[in-house]
């Protein structure tokens, strides 16, 4: 946001003062702050990171060139934070004449509209501004009824990012229950092992964990019982196929058909969109099989034929799919089953924890091997990489109530978690380290459908003898947005005063509605919508704060040399702010 303001002010010189208010560290913010432990890694490779838009006239380098970290490696968060800090300071120094950027390391606690502009309340001062952009990122939420029940029975840490949690206070040898097996779970585990002096060694190709003796015993669980799978190591980006079914023209036809059939252009994601997504994933899977078997020219021919799997109603047809597969000799190839990849333990019960641990270990070891082959050598990882490729298409389908209300709820609660589990995981090294920790007995996963009772008893109903008692509970789940429960004092005050509102997805044809928990904003330039449903002329919002009204707002940078939706969104806000100032 700051860069786009500075770029536009350089192109059309004028005087301006920009207050950059950040409570932790200007530039890196809370997540990337430079004072955090080195074992917390980014979830993107060095070659994927930049803080510069493609048309920026200001000198600067993408992260890999700035840091000399190899493009395929995953840097630490604090290293990337140092890059963001330098980028921020460079923008401050190189801002054009008449433009002053004033960093303030504190939190805005209130905002009111006056006859002279917007008055921002800070702990030690007030700021009067003409325009405001809310880029507040992740917030803490008031605990739910279940959270309060658990907190009443013992020590609960989280939810929140691992670097914010007092993990050093947990005694060595204590049993710790961890709720959730996503990216925060990986951070917590690394903090309680590497952060306690443990180390990994390799002998005869096998990774081993050497405990320090200061670790707690970590017992974890989730609904799926499966930690996030590893991201594939991409060696040949040029082999990644483009989507062939999920086109703008097809989506437009689906909306027209929905309007004719239901009186609304809102789509049913599970029935009308999701089959196309999984067909795209299957396309990437089978294309890689053809490429490995018959060469890249034949793979391209398969891609050219694949659109035939969709019928004249824009529906995936099994008979048509079978004909395409048969034409390329793929009928005997085991089909890809994404639901089994995401929930490999569904329908299974285990006689004891050792049986489940062996099965989990088998799944993780196979996943590491597939990830290291990359999407170029692994048809499975080629398929899952397609899920990442399709992400930019989903906001156009989902944002601003593009789905039926009940379908919107289903998308957020079912599809999104499975999507992230399969395609948003950590580096393969981290998953391999998880296997070593299981082998060392430092970490255990209780099994699928894990439940945690008062007193921190954690167990899986499908693993006999899995019941364990813990002294501390760490909530490693990533809470979704919920404006009504948001603890940010600025948002609480603005909501109470009617300056902002929650986005409610309502179907005009039926009156059905879904309160999303997200901050209501207009389409670009993303003006906040007040309690009367009116867009504010002088307040905009960008990023995580708008999640659920929009989708996948967590990523604030684009790939080097490429335009990105996030950059375009920030530029739209900058244009609106400066054009009407």
| CA distances from residue 571 to 9, 14, 53, 354, 440 in whole angstroms, order as listed | 12, 17, 10, 54, 50
Confidence band of 558 (pLDDT split at 50, 70, 90):
low
Is the domain of 255 the same as that of 402?
A: yes
Is the domain of 118 the same as that of 245?
A: no
pLDDT for 59 equals 67
| C-alpha to C-alpha distance for 572 and 12, rounded to whole angstroms | 15
Q: Is the pLDDT of residue 57 over 80?
A: no
The string of DSSP letters for 250-278 reads HHHHHHHHHHHHHSS--B-IIIIIHHHHH
Q: Is the pLDDT of residue 261 over 60?
A: yes
What pLDDT digit, counting tens, does each position of 273-295 carry?
999 999 999 999 999 999 999 99
Nearest residue to 504 via CA among 513, 496, 492, 495: 513
Lowest mean pLDDT among 150-159, 202-211, 228-237, 393-402: 228-237
What pLDDT digit, counting tens, does each position of 144-196 carry?
898 999 999 899 999 989 999 999 999 999 999 999 999 999 999 999 999 99
Residue 429 lies in a domain: no
Is the domain of 273 the same as that of 413?
A: yes
Is the domain of 246 the same as that of 383?
A: yes
What pLDDT digit, counting tens, does each position of 430-476 carry?
999 999 999 999 999 999 999 999 889 999 999 999 999 999 999 99
Confidence band of 581 (pLDDT split at 50, 70, 90):
very low
Q: Supply φ then ψ for residue 108, to 5 degrees.
A: -75, 130
Bigger pLDDT: 16 or 53?
16
Question: Which residues constitute the domain of residue 158?
Answer: 145-225+438-475
Pairing relationship of beta strands 535-541 and 132-134 according to DSSP bridges:
parallel
Is the domain of 192 the same as that of 265?
A: no
What pLDDT digit, counting tens, does each position of 343-362 carry?
999 999 999 999 999 999 99
Is the domain of 81 the same as that of 156?
A: no
Mean per-residue pLDDT of the chain: 94
pLDDT for 43 equals 86
Residue 565 lies in a domain: yes
Confidence band of 556 (pLDDT split at 50, 70, 90):
low
CATH code of residue 9: 3.50.50
Residue 393 lies in a domain: yes
Is the domain of 414 the same as that of 451?
A: no
Nearest residue to 382 via CA among 324, 296, 316: 296
Is the domain of 172 the same as that of 286?
A: no
DSSP state for residue 12 in the 8-state scheme: S
pLDDT for 557 equals 60
pLDDT for 66 equals 94
Residue 428 lies in a domain: no
What pLDDT digit, counting tens, does each position of 144-153 carry?
898 999 999 8
DSSP state for residue 486 in the 8-state scheme: B
Residue 120 lies in a domain: yes
pLDDT for 561 equals 79
Nearest residue to 181 via CA among 344, 386, 380, 336: 344
Is the domain of 22 the same as that of 90?
A: yes
What pLDDT digit, counting tens, does each position of 291-321 carry?
999 999 999 999 999 999 999 999 999 999 9
Number of domains in the chain: 3
Is the domain of 122 the same as that of 154?
A: no
Question: Contact at 8 Å (CB) between 540 and 549?
Answer: no
Report pTM: 0.94
pLDDT for 566 equals 87
Q: Is the pLDDT of residue 3 over 70?
A: yes
Query: For the residues 220-241, what does the mean pLDDT come to?
Result: 89
Helix-helix angle 353-377:379-389, to 10 degrees: 80
CATH code of residue 470: 3.50.50.60
Confidence band of 53 (pLDDT split at 50, 70, 90):
confident
Residue 53 lies in a domain: yes
> Which pair of tokens denotes residue 231?
């991201």
Q: What percent of the chain has a predicted confidence (pLDDT) above 90?
A: 88
Is the domain of 81 the same as that of 103?
A: yes
Residue 176 lies in a domain: yes
| C-alpha to C-alpha distance for 210 and 196, rounded to whole angstroms | 11
Is the domain of 371 the same as that of 514?
A: no
Q: Is the pLDDT of residue 389 over 50?
A: yes
| C-alpha to C-alpha distance for 486 and 495, rounded to whole angstroms | 10
Residue 59 lies in a domain: yes
């Amino acid at each position: 946001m700051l860069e786009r303001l500075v770029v536009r002010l350089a192109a059309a010189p004028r005087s301006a003062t920009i207050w950059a208010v950040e409570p932790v560290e200007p530039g890196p913010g809370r997540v990337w702050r430079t004072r955090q432990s080195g074992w917390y890694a980014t979830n993107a490779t060095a070659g994927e990171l930049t803080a510069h838009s493609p048309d920026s006239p200001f000198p600067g380098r993408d992260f890999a060139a700035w840091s000399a970290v190899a493009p395929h490696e995953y840097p630490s968060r604090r290293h990337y934070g140092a890059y963001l800090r330098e980028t921020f300071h460079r923008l401050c120094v190189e801002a054009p004449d008449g433009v002053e950027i004033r960093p303030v390391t504190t939190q805005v606690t209130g905002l009111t509209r006056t006859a002279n502009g917007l008055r921002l309340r800070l702990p030690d001062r007030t700021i009067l501004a003409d325009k405001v952009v809310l880029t507040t990122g992740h917030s803490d939420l008031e605990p739910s009824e279940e959270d309060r029940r658990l907190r009443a029975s013992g020590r609960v840490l989280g939810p929140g990012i691992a670097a914010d949690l007092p993990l050093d206070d947990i005694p060595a040898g204590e049993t710790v229950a961890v709720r959730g097996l996503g990216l925060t779970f990986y951070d917590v585990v690394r903090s309680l092992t590497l952060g306690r002096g443990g180390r990994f060694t390799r002998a005869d190709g096998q990774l081993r964990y050497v405990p320090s003796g200061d670790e707690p015993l970590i017992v974890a669980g989730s609904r799926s019982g499966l930690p996030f799978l590893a991201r594939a190591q991409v060696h040949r980006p040029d082999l990644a196929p483009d989507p062939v079914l999920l086109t703008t023209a097809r989506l437009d036809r689906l909306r027209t058909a929905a309007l004719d059939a239901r009186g609304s252009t809102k789509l049913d994601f599970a029935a009308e969109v999701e089959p196309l997504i999984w067909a795209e994933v299957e396309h990437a899977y089978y294309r890689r099989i053809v490429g490995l078997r018959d060469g890249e020219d034949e793979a391209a021919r398969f891609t050219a034929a694949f659109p035939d799997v969709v019928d004249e109603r824009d529906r995936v047809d099994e008979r048509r799919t079978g004909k395409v597969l048969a034409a390329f000799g793929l009928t005997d190839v085991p089909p890809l089953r994404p639901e089994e990849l995401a929930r490999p333990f569904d329908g299974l019960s285990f006689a004891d924890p050792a049986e489940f641990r062996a099965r989990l270990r088998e799944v993780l070891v196979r996943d590491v091997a597939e990830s290291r082959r990359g999407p170029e050598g692994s048809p499975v990882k080629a398929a899952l990489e397609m899920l990442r490729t399709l992400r930019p298409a989903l906001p156009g389908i989902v944002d601003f109530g593009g789905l039926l209300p009940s379908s919107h709820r289903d998308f957020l609660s079912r599809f999104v978690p499975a999507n992230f589990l399969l395609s948003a995981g950590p580096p393969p090294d981290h998953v391999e380290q998880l296997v070593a920790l299981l082998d060392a007995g430092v970490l255990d996963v209780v099994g699928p459908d894990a439940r945690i009772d008062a007193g921190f008893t954690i167990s899986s109903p499908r693993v006999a003898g899995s019941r364990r008692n813990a002294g501390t509970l760490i909530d490693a789940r990533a809470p979704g947005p919920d404006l009504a429960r948001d603890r940010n004092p600025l948002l609480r005050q603005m909501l109470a005063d009617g300056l902002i509102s929650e986005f409610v997805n309502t179907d005009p044809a039926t009156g059905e509605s879904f309160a999303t928990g997200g901050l209501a904003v207009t389409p670009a330039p993303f003006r906040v919508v007040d309690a009367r449903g009116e867009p504010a002329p002088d307040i905009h919002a960008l990023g995580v704060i708008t999640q659920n009204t929009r989708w996948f707002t967590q990523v604030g940078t684009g790939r080097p040399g490429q335009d990105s939706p996030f950059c375009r969104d920030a530029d739209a806000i900058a244009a609106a702010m400066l054009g009407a100032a």
